Chains A and B, each alone.
Chain A
Amino acid sequence: MTVESRKGGLLGGEEGSRDMFPVGMRVLAVDDDPTCLKILDNLLRYCKYHVTTTNQAVMALKMLREKRDEFDLVISDVNMPDMDGFKLLELVGLEMDIPVIMLSAHSDYELVKKGVTHGAVDYLNKPVRVEELKNIWQHVVRRKKIEPKDQNKSSSGDRAHSGTGEVGQGASVGTNSDLNGKVNRKRSDHDEEEDDEGEENGRENEDSSSQKKPRVVWSVDLHRKFVAAVNQLGLEKAVPKKILDLMNVEGLTRENVASHLQVGHPFLVLVNISYNIGPFLFLGHNIVIFLEEDFLPKYRLYLKRIHNAASQQANLVAALGSKDPSYMRYGSPDGYGDFRGLTGPGRLSATSLSSYPPGGMLGRLNTPAGLGFRGISSTGLLQPTHSHNSGGSAHFMGHLQSQGAINPSSTLFQGIPSTLEVNQLQPQSKVVGAVRELNVVDPMALRVSNKITDPLMAASSSSNNSLSIVSSNHLLLQNNRIKPSVQVGPLHSQPVDLGPSSSGFIDQSRCNDSWHGGTAQNSKFSSINNHMPLSEPLNNFQLPPNGNFSSTTSHVRDSQIDFSSPSAVSGVLDDSRRGVPCQGGLISNNNSTVQNVSSYGQGFGAMNSLIPASGFVGQKVHHQETAFCSRSSDAPLIGQSNSAVVPANIPQSKGEISSLDSNTRSSENYLSDQTKTHDDFFQSPFEPLDELMNAMIKREHNDGSLLDGDLGFDPYPLGSCI
């Protein structure tokens, strides 16, 4: 099974052997039992992998941290004396986004489930058989594939391979399906979406077979139509078929719409756009959601699925920081939805989410007014291609759903809630602080409430606060553990302080609406938000020219959020003020939201090394302005967050943050300039971060351009974003 394709750096490509993937795949094996370790070592070598072993989890982490790029896969025992295997799993997932396979002598359902929910790509039972190990490479490929790379599809039944992957795979597949399905706003759509999900999954899993339909690029216009159709139908009734009919677009298939719909799931949006770094979920460039610890693993899991772009590193960790359900107030006056329903630590209970008028948040997402997130992921932002990613998100969402927390119909966050238990993120205040500190030109920055958890929720629930995480950018940057209590404040067009008015996130007027339930107006935002928010933040991230982001960006890449749709979104946002804070992307009020969105896209793009964000950015440039503003501020955050990806490594993050600071600075520069220069920003969808930065800088000069709503950018190749 030599997959010739050089998986984008999957194997580093430095060595010739890498070309013969999976031969030479670099595996890190961790097991405190010497017998098992020796056997595992030999088994892996037998499979022609390049093996490194250690019997200490701590050492393993150290190695991974130091040589992040030197490992493709980690296999770890569950029971280890120095560290719980699940913990290691989480940390690795958060920090490095390398696939981790769990090993255990016990295969209890609960344990396996725990492994899966903590992000393991597979769960093997001891004794391990060589047949199982022969297939583990698929996890690496799968992960890479999620990135918008044109890799050969290792359709060799990756999914189907199960020897080993039964548990994980099944779970993941199932999850994906669930996510996709569940993500759908309406359960009724579930069935309908199933097929799509399958496609999504297929796409996500890179099954070549699933690549049957040509990818639809959700341009701004297309997305706008989509959003309009959804709005018209109402979230509840927005089934792909009807949407398709309403859209009346030639050549568009139901599947396209369906996948877009899924993607558009608020959460998806959120997820798609965002990438997470550690516990921070960067939704868009300005939105950073700090995920609670508990949530994080799950979220990560989801995120990974959803958006590869975010890269292995920065899974968007929705930093739903607080466990305080109160955070779920996205729709609150702050523009956050009111997720009172949030239960549990930072969890967004599905119910709470569902409290949001389905049409509202989620629905809104798709609709312009909808939560930015929605738009982000699906609407336009995410290209169908991204559906994988989106699907990923969808998956995520779906998964969330399955977790019981997510209501399909609920807004974006619906899905999130349950899983979003951002328990981990402790330093929510940091996030908040981070946000505040950012002196975004346009306070698009979302209000970063202390509890990020809400942000996510809020984002979803609330209006366009595309995840108030916007500020998250800042937030994240600031602290690993910043709990994104970022409140997605309404994205006021006016440069409100980072707080509530934060850019675009939540357009107060709109956002609230949108968040809450999506009033129509939110639709504007939401759509925009949907698109952008995520993208934007990412852009911000991207901006930091420093390489720091590159890592994250790579993530972002995965989350090729269909920024392209931003244009659609932006359009929506247009109605509102453009001034909406740049904060990323959260969909600034109408205009601003758009901007935000765009900025998001940008940010997002930035985040993604793919830079697709730029594409995104381009979409709705006009939003950019505000978004940009926030973005720039966000960017720093993002940058930081990127570095802070590893939430677990606070120290690291600190270091990273400092490094980010430099980025931040640069991004800040951008930020100030950005506000207007979204256009530029988005121009280059896939520019490398540096280019993005440049773009951002340029953008500054293009103040006005953004507002006109014509993104001026080429549709953001969402695919790249995600």
Chain B
Amino acid sequence: MDQRNQFHRQVALMRQSLFDQGYIDEQFVQLEELQDDTNPNFVEEVVTLYYRDSARLIVSIEQALDKSPLDFNKLDSLMHQFKGSSSSIGARKVKAECTQFREYCKAENGEGCMRTFQQMKKEYATLKKRLEAYFQLARQAGPSQAASRPK
């Protein structure tokens, strides 16, 4: 019991810090709302799907960034999609980088694009780690906990 409570508390704390540190936003809450008994691992599933699918997008962007001259339209288009999915899971920082990236694309600032892209990748990786840890703990704590959300 205590152990469980302990877990729950930890999970809650971890979750809260994700929010507080701006890694995730209210969209994440939306996902959590969709999670229920019939869909107990929804959030994790979505996030997993996101990371899997976005990986190839990142590769595409990287490839596009390697080209010379840069095709900003294509970059923008790729990033558009990336931004869409990132924002859908509530990846706040990642989304912010995507937005920045888009600005640079519009300004046709290749240097800016690359910098932003690197930054974005960092955030992306960090978030992934954090979420993985979170989900793991949540699983340990029990499904009910995972579904709980902060007020």
Question: Which A residues are within 8 Å of any B CB, using their own CB?
Answer: 32-36, 38-39, 42-43, 46, 77, 79, 104-106, 126-130
Contacts and interface: CB of A to CB of B under 8 A. Distances in A.
Interface of B: 27, 30-31, 33-34, 39, 42, 45-46, 49-50, 53-54, 77, 80-81, 83-85, 87-90, 102
Contacts of B89: 35, 39, 127
Nearest to A105: B84
B31 A39 contact: yes
B87 A130 contact: no
Chain B contact residues: over half helix, strand or loop, or mixed? Answer: helix
Contacts of B53: 33-35
A77 B84 contact: yes
8 contacts: A32-B81, A39-B34, A42-B34, A46-B34, A105-B80, A127-B30, A127-B88, A128-B88
Given A35-B50, A38-B46, A127 B90 contact: yes
Contact of B77 (A38, A39, A79, A128): A79
Given A46-B34, A126-B87, A38 B80 contact: no
Which one of A32, A36, A43, A106 has the highest number of Cβ atoms from chain B below 10 Å of its Cβ? A36
Given A35-B88, A42-B39, A105 B81 contact: yes
Contacts of A79: 77, 80-81, 84
A127 B80 contact: no
Contacts of A38: 45-46, 49
Given A34-B53, A42-B39, A79-B77, A105 B87 contact: yes
A35 B43 CA distance: 11
A168 B42 CA distance: 30
B87 A127 contact: yes
A104 B84 contact: yes
Contacts of A126: 83-84, 87-88
Chain A contact residues: over half helix, strand or loop, or mixed? Answer: mixed
Contacts of A104: 80, 84
Contact of B49 (A35, A43, A106): A35
A105 B54 CA distance: 15
B77 A42 contact: no
A285 B85 CA distance: 48
A128 B90 CA distance: 11
A130 B34 CA distance: 9
Given A34-B49, A39-B89, A105-B87, A130 B81 contact: no
Nearest to A77: B84
Contacts of A105: 80-81, 83-84, 87
A129 B30 contact: yes
A33 B85 contact: yes
A79 B84 CA distance: 10
Nearest to B28: A127
A38 B44 CA distance: 12
6 nearest A-B pairs in the assembled complex, by CB-CB distance: A105-B84, A35-B85, A35-B50, A127-B27, A127-B88, A127-B87
B84 A36 contact: yes
Contacts of B33: 46, 130
Contact of A39 (B46, B80, B83, B102): B46
A619 B146 CA distance: 68
Contacts of B39: 42
Which one of A34, A104, A130 has the highest number of Cβ atoms from chain B below 10 Å of its Cβ? A34
A130 B42 CA distance: 15
A35 B87 contact: no
Given A130-B30, A130-B33, 16 more contacts: A32-B81, A33-B53, A33-B81, A34-B49, A35-B50, A35-B53, A35-B88, A39-B89, A42-B42, A42-B46, A79-B84, A104-B80, A104-B84, A105-B83, A105-B87, A127-B90
